[in-house]
């Protein structure tokens, strides 16, 4: 069982997400006395009789004044068996870009709905974004069940509707769970509620503790973008030459046959080094330094990959883009693409489609892509890049799009992703 779970939360304004996150921190004793004192004082000032747990997570003064959260915030809590990094993403409609940001590294998504309103547009939109980014598991926290008198029938209707939506997005049975909670009262967050005897599943915290984290398939082919070439040129290490990077997929061992891309040079791994000594094997996520048996010309931006299962090297591909900027995208736009450790010039040749995540339908050949929209584009690159399909190898199929003029991050990109991979998506009819 993995000990670190990265999760992202999303919900509409007023679903009580800040209170839920505050409740998780509070019930795992991640809140200390001085923080509690501060929120108790503030709650009294606001005329409340119990501490307002949402104040624990509403960070910036500008937010507190407006009463909404405006950016992804990261929260930390732990139980004896697992540490949690929670990306708390705001629910306001124009901030879908934050959901994309929070979800890009998440292993589980917690979507929040108000039990009185059920599944709403935002819920469907967020679930679609999480599905697209390949977040393996979803939890629907049906909040404020105290306000519907802990009504089982109402909960079941919401749970079923959400399960149907998640299935249409490609989530298998067993990867989605709905839990009736009251963040305000604490029902089924960390403690099993006596008010919901009809619910036999785990509490939210139990589920987070026990949910299997999809391990990276051990047999996934090795991929490591080279970050930096380590050449000490010291008396002790006069000829050392190692390629530093973080393993994006698969595992590597001394003796493995590898290919360096985009050049296509073949070599053998001589050693897998760290400051703590050489390793017999290193897996996904580990930062290592690879020494090869041949003297090759390798620089930052190259990719070292399994020789018998290398990514394709290409200067054009199609990709899904989550557009994160208020500057709109039109065909012909010149951008920078950062993928792995390489940044190259690129041109958006065509906008092939726009995905309407609300109706799960596809709009053909849109004229432009605007903030918070998701589209499929054809990109042509100034250089050859080794790329994988995002659905096969997320870390080598992911890229960001950068504005060459001001350096802003414009979009999140997923190589090869087609919306029809989300089941139930309606392709436009061919005339």
With contacts defined by CB under 8 A, name the span among 189-197, 253-261, 267-275, 357-365 that binds another protein.
Answer: 267-275
Prior bond of 262 cis (ω within 30°): yes
| Interface positions, 307-366, toward another protein (CB under 8 A) | 324, 338-339, 341
Sign, CA dihedral 391-396-397-399, equals: positive
Give DSSP secondary structure letters for 56-125.
Answer: GT--SHHHHHHTS--S-EEEEEEETTEEEEEEE---SGGGHHHHHHHHTT-SEEEEEEETTT-S-HHHHH
Give 173 or 236: the residue with its C-beta nearer to another protein. Answer: 236
Q: Is 80 in the site for another protein (CB under 8 A)?
A: yes
Tell me the residue length of the chain.
Answer: 431
| Interface positions, 274-293, toward another protein (CB under 8 A) | 274-276, 285-287, 289
Q: Is 399 in the site for another protein (CB under 8 A)?
A: yes
In the complex, the smallest distance separating the C-beta of residue 264 from another protein, rounded to whole angstroms, is: 22
Q: Is 93 in the site for another protein (CB under 8 A)?
A: no
In the complex, the smallest distance separating the C-beta of residue 94 from another protein, rounded to whole angstroms, is: 13
Among residues 266, 300, 312, 327, the one that binds another protein under rule CB under 8 A? 300
Q: Is 59 in the site for another protein (CB under 8 A)?
A: yes
With vertex at residue 285, the alpha carbon angle to CA 279 and CA 286, rounded to the nearest 5 degrees, is: 25
Sheet holding 137-143, edge to edge: 73-79, 82-88, 4-11, 108-114, 137-143, 176-180
Count of residues that bind another protein according to CB under 8 A: 72
Among residues 318, 378, 409, 420, the one that binds another protein under rule CB under 8 A? 409
- Neighbouring CB atoms inside 10 A of 27's CB total 18
- Neighbouring CB atoms inside 10 A of 320's CB total 24
In the complex, the smallest distance separating the C-beta of residue 89 from another protein, rounded to whole angstroms, is: 11
| Interface positions, 209-228, toward another protein (CB under 8 A) | 227-228
- Distance CA(24)–CA(31), nearest Å, equals 10
Q: Is 244 in the site for another protein (CB under 8 A)?
A: yes
In the complex, the smallest distance separating the C-beta of residue 428 from another protein, rounded to whole angstroms, is: 29
Q: Is 48 in the site for another protein (CB under 8 A)?
A: no
Q: Is 395 in the site for another protein (CB under 8 A)?
A: yes
Residues pairing with 138 in the sheet = 109, 176
Among residues 13, 68, 78, 392, the one that binds another protein under rule CB under 8 A? 78
Helix (H) or strand (E) holding 6, with range, is: strand 4-11
Q: Is 167 in the site for another protein (CB under 8 A)?
A: no
With contacts defined by CB under 8 A, name the span among 60-68, 177-185, 192-200, 347-355 that binds another protein.
Answer: 60-68
Give 187 or 302: the residue with its C-beta nearer to another protein. Answer: 302
CA terminus-to-terminus distance, the chain: 51
């Amino acid at each position: 069982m993995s000990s670190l779970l990265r999760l992202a939360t999303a919900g509409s304004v007023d679903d009580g997400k800040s209170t839920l996150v505050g409740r998780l921190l509070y019930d795992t004793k991640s809140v200390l006395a001085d923080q509690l004192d501060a929120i108790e004082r503030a709650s009294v000032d606001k005329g409340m009789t119990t501490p307002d747990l949402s104040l624990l997570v509403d960070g910036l003064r500008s937010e507190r004044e407006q009463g909404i959260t405006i950016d992804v915030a990261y929260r930390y809590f732990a139980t004896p068996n697992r540490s949690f990094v929670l990306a708390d993403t705001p629910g306001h409609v124009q901030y879908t870009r934050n959901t994309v940001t929070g979800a890009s590294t998440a292993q589980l998504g917690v979507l929040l709905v108000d039990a009185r309103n059920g599944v709403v547009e935002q819920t469907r939109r967020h679930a679609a974004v999480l599905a697209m980014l390949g977040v393996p598991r979803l939890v629907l926290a049906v909040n404020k069940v105290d306000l519907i008198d802990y009504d089982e029938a109402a909960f079941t209707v919401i749970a079923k509707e959400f399960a149907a939506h998640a299935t249409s997005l490609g989530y298998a049975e067993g990867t989605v769970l709905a839990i009736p909670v009251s963040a305000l009262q604490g029902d089924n967050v960390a403690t099993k509620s006596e008010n919901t005897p009809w619910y036999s599943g785990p509490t939210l915290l139990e589920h987070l503790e026990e949910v299997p984290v999809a391990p990276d398939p051990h047999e996934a082919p090795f991929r490591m973008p080279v970050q930096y070439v380590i050449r000490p040129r010291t008396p002790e290490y006069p000829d050392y030459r190692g390629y530093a990077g973080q393993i994006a997929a698969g595992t590597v061992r001394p003796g493995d046959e590898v290919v360096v891309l985009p050049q296509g040079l073949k070599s053998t791994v001589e050693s897998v080094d760290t400051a703590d000594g050489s390793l017999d094997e290193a897996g996904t996520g580990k930062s290592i330094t690879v020494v090869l048996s041949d003297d090759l010309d390798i620089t930052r931006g190259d990719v070292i990959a399994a020789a018998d299962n290398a990514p394709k090297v290409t200067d054009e591909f199609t990709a899904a883009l989550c557009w994160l900027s208020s500057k709109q995208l039109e065909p012909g736009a010149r951008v920078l693409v950062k993928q792995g450790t390489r940044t190259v010039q690129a041109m958006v040749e065509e906008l092939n489609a726009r995905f309407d995540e609300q109706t799960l339908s596809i709009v053909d050949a849109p004229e432009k892509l605007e903030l918070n929209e998701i589209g499929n584009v054809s990109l042509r690159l100034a250089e050859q890049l080794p790329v994988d399909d995002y659905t096969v190898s997320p870390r080598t199929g992911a890229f960001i799009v950068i504005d060459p003029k001001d350096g802003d991050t414009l979009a999140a990109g997923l190589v090869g992703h087609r919306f029809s991979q989300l089941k139930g998506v309606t392709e436009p009819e061919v005339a």
